[in-house]
Amino acid sequence: MAKVTFNEELCKGCQLCTTVCPKNIVIMDTKRINSKGYHPATVVEMDKCIGCAFCARICPDVVIEVER
């Protein structure tokens, strides 16, 4: 049981987080756009998250918090 939280307003849509998730559950939310003009990253199927924090670790904008 793990949880990731995105501070979406900080996200710059760089996609780095999407490349490291072992569960492939981090994706870009192309439907939304934050106030900086970027599509933010988000997690689908949160229940698959193992809380490895890889996504957070690689995020250059410290967008992601991970709990486990």
Partner 1 sequence: MTKVFERPKALTDKPFHYCPGCTHGIIHCLVAEVIDELGIREKTIGVAPVGCAVFAYEYFNCDMHEAAHGRAPAVATGIKRVHPDNVVFTYQGDGDLASIGIAEIVHAANRGEKITTIFVNNAIYGMTGGQMAPTSLLGQVTTTSPYGRNPDTEGHPIRVSEMLATVEGAAFIERVSVHDIKNINKAKRAIKKAFQVQLEGKGFAMVEVLSTCPTNWGMTPVESLKWIEENMIPYYPLGIKKEVD
Partner 2 sequence: MAQEIIISGFGGQGVMSMGQLLTYAGMLDGKNVSWLPSYGPEMRGGTANCSVILADDMIGSPIVTEATALIAMNLPSLEKFEQALVPRGLLIVNSSLVNKKAKRDDIDAYYVPANEIADQLGNFRVANMVMLGAYLEKTQAVSLDSVMKSLREVLGPSKEHLIPINQKALERGAQLVTSIHQRV
* Positions that interact with partner 2 (CB under 8 A): 12, 36-37
Helix, strand, coil % over all residues of the chain, rounded to 5: 25, 20, 55
Which of 29, 38, 40, 41 forms a contact with partner 1 (CB under 8 A)? 38
Please work out the total of residues on this chain that contact partner 1, with binding judged by CB under 8 A.
28
Q: Minimum distance between the CB of residue 27 and partner 1, rounded to whole angstroms? A: 14
Which of 9, 29, 34, 43 forms a contact with ligand SF4 (CB under 6 A)? 43
Q: Burial of 11 by CB count in 10 Å (0-12 exposed, 13-18 middle, 19+ buried)?
A: buried
